[in-house]
Amino acid sequence: MTELVWQRTPLLTIGFFIAKEVRNLIKNITNFIPVLAAIFVTDSTWLPYAIGGGYLVFVIVSAILNHHFFLYALTDDAVHLRTGVFSKKSLTLKYERIQQAELDQTWYFRPFSLTILRVDSAGSAGKEVEIPGLSIDVAQQLRQTMLAERKAVAAELRDDADLPSVPTAKANSPVDLERQYGLAELIRAGIFDNKLFVLLAVLIYPLSQTEVLEERVLPWLEANITFLEESMWLNVGVVVVCLTALFVLAIGVTVVTNYNLTLTIAKQRFQTRAGLLSIRTISFRYPKLQRVRIRQNLRARLLKRFTVRVNQLRPSAHAQQQSSGTFVLPVLTRSGLEELSRWLRLPTRQQLNWQRISPIALLHPSFWVALSAPLTATLSYLKWESNLLALALGASVWLALQLYVVARWQRYGFTQAQGWLGVHRGVFGHYEYWYPLYKAQQVDVYQSPWLRLLGFADVIIYTAAGAEVIKYQPLAVAKQMQSSWLHDIANNSTRWM
Amino acid sequence: MPVNWIPVEPNYKSYLQLVVLIDMAILAIIGASLYLFLPNNGWLPAPLWFGAPWAAITVFFGLFWSLRRYQFTAYARTEEAMFLRRGALWRLTRAVPLNRIQHVEVRQGFLERLFGLAHLTLYTAGSGGADLSIPGLALANAEAMKAELITTIANEQTDESDHD
């Protein structure tokens, strides 16, 4: 046990603490609704300024205090934190329990070559440890010790002996694989991972609620831009131009955040490094892997690219915000995907025996879809009072939904190979999930009254990175799956996290 | 591997019935106070429209559901895993491998104490509360199982650190 040397972060990091306070404000904005209401209700002109100013002072004072009372100490095997202004908090995190490490060189620290180190622990409270303002050298060295913990590495090397599929060609060189993704690839990623539609939905909903659009914007547009009314095509053109601009903007965001994306694999350590303004490095050790997700939405299918995300154990508190700070490769060609799959030791794609679920699974959704036909027919009849239209509409809605149900069933499949459970689904896109079976936490066999009637059961497997349901297995098969998986898990003594 | 299901204490049925009665009584009190204290309650339908379904639901849950639930609830412990069967109409058989258990807990609610019952909960990683919880155990039995499980887990982990 080495002596603890408590350190304070550099003074510059006050900016980080201020940013954190502001983030907290935005996260807890609902708490301030009474205050906001007070601002709107009163007539006094000074109140909004008083509240705003008071809040500003509060943010700065609490940031200074938080910075002053933020102490950390680094030892050979753990990181210690002592934080808190009034209620003190002491935290010790063993390196070997760390799931993932992230170095965030934010734009405001880059000029000073400082960085934020962020690590996830495996505790049930989901404590994330953030140390701002480490110098890059120290942080990199620290991450090295964290992820290449000596004891753990020895265990891994032993595990490797049992796994024939490991590419061991360059076992001695420090870096096994390095790949860079160019601008063209990132633009592709921007096209198919475009958040434009999400953004639009988020923007349009509150706008439609507040009636600002109808009461203010439209009259203003009509008053000021009269030429718009002259041509319908001009209207359409304006909308198209606006959408295109937003689309390009969203691509730009993707390119900036992923600029100069580099994947490095070295001795079981997977690392991505990317960013134009803020450089972010995310790395994890292979034994911590809990799930691999290969995603290809419709646009990605057209562009023939894949997105791969690797999950580690995420405590439930973080389950919702998985998109931030996970290990993601946004754009991979097919050969790139195959290469990465080899390094992740996923089963070889050609030898897979995908299994479909029983066609009986179609009965239940088909029943509800069948109900939709008379419903749409009646509704449209009530609206337009036309028998033909009602029939046609009802039939086409039913047909579309029924085709979707069948397609969903047809494109679903699961497989077991080399200790992995794989599931693929998706009608328009293609989604593949891979779970290392021996790392599963619970296995359920579930029967609703309907399933019991048919003699089927759902199998639910809980892993540390989420649950997966395999529907409609014959009861005997489901029980067999449960007991054989349990047997495999119970008799596997390798590290699972 | 054959699984020997062990049923839970017969008291568990009475406990379920009491829970049903209390829940239904709360509903009844809310309904009754609507009729008694609400001014201008002429628009409410005759009390029988609520009373009859209420009685039917009470009888269904108090007699049929609690019996079925008690009959189906059982647990099993093998060398490899802990099993739990649960549910009345929607049925679940859950299994947790012993080497994935994170911690074990014995809890006793207020109503459970009246019957001398307790439940034993096994927690695993990352599942966020969806864990294995065996209800309707005698308190002494639950404590014994907990102690036994903890010993098993502890022994396993020393094995694993040797392996490292």
Q: pLDDT (tens digit, 9 = 90+) per residue, A37-75?
A: 777 777 777 877 888 888 888 888 888 888 888 888 888
User: For helices A46-68 and A14-27, what crossing angle results, to 10°?
Assistant: 130
How many other C-beta atoms can be found within 10 angstroms of the C-beta atom of residue A379?
13
Tokens 């693929």 — which residue?
A424
The answer, yes or no, to whether residue A154 has pLDDT greater than 50, is no
pTM of the predicted protein model: 0.81
Pairing of strands A279-285, A114-120: unpaired
Choose from A451, A461, A486 for mutation: most chain B CBs within 10 A.
Answer: A486
* CB contact (8 A) between residue B100 and residue A440: yes
Q: pLDDT (tens digit, 9 = 90+) per residue, A422-479?
A: 999 989 999 999 999 988 889 999 999 999 999 999 999 988 888 899 999 999 999 9
A chain contacts of residue B125, beta-carbon cutoff 8 Å: 122, 124, 313, 441, 464, 497
Tokens 């550099």 — which residue?
A10
Residue B74 carries which side chain, given as an amino acid letter? Answer: A
Distance (Å) from the alpha carbon of A291 to chain B's nearest alpha carbon? 12
Distance between CA atoms of A180 and A234, rounded to whole angstroms?
43
User: What angle (nearest 5°) sits at the alpha carbon of residue A497, between those of residues A495 and B1?
Assistant: 55
Cα torsion A451, A454, A455, A461: sign: negative
Q: Is A184 on the interface with B (CB under 8 A)?
A: no
Half-sphere exposure of B135 (CA within 13 A, CB side): 20
**ipTM for the complex?**
0.86
**Nearest chain A residue (CA) to B79:** A490
Distance between CA atoms of A179 and A496, rounded to whole angstroms?
28
* CB contact (8 A) between residue A122 and residue B125: yes
Mean pLDDT for all residues in chain B: 87
* CA proximity to A108, closest of A7, A24, A17: A17
Arithmetic mean of pLDDT, A358-370: 90
* Mean pLDDT lowest among A96-105, A210-219, A386-395, A474-483: A210-219
* Mean pLDDT lowest among A325-334, B111-120, B134-143: A325-334
Half-sphere exposure of A67 (CA within 13 A, CB side): 21
Residue A213 is predicted with a pLDDT of 60
Nearest to B95 among A152, A290, A443 (CB): A443
Distance between CA atoms of A399 and A209, rounded to whole angstroms?
34
A chain contacts of residue B123, beta-carbon cutoff 8 Å: 124
Q: Cα-flanking dihedrals φ and ψ of residue A459, to 5°?
A: -110, 125
Pull the structure tokens for residue A89: 């908090």
Q: Cα-flanking dihedrals φ and ψ of residue B89, to 5°?
A: -100, -45
Arithmetic mean of pLDDT, A410-433: 92
- The domain limits of chain B are 8-70, 73-163
Name the H helices within A133-231: 136-147, 150-162, 183-192, 196-210, 212, 218-224, 227-230
Distance between CA atoms of A476 and A223, rounded to whole angstroms?
72
B chain contacts of residue A290, beta-carbon cutoff 8 Å: 126
Distance between CA atoms of A451 and B36, rounded to whole angstroms?
45
Give the DSSP per-residue string, A179-198.
EE--HHHHHHHHHHT--HHH
Higher pLDDT, A328 or A148: A328
Residue B102 is predicted with a pLDDT of 84
Distance between CA atoms of A428 and A121, rounded to whole angstroms?
36
* CB contact (8 A) between residue B124 and residue A462: yes
* CB contact (8 A) between residue A486 and residue B92: no
* CB contact (8 A) between residue B163 and residue A493: yes
Architecture in CATH of B73-163: Roll (2.30)
* CB contact (8 A) between residue B80 and residue A487: yes
Residue A48 is predicted with a pLDDT of 78
Nearest to A489 among B90, B97, B126 (CB): B97
Distance between CA atoms of A156 and A148, rounded to whole angstroms?
10
Q: Is A311 on the interface with B (CB under 8 A)?
A: no
Distance (Å) from the alpha carbon of B42 to chain A's nearest alpha carbon? 34
Pull the structure tokens for residue A236: 């359409």
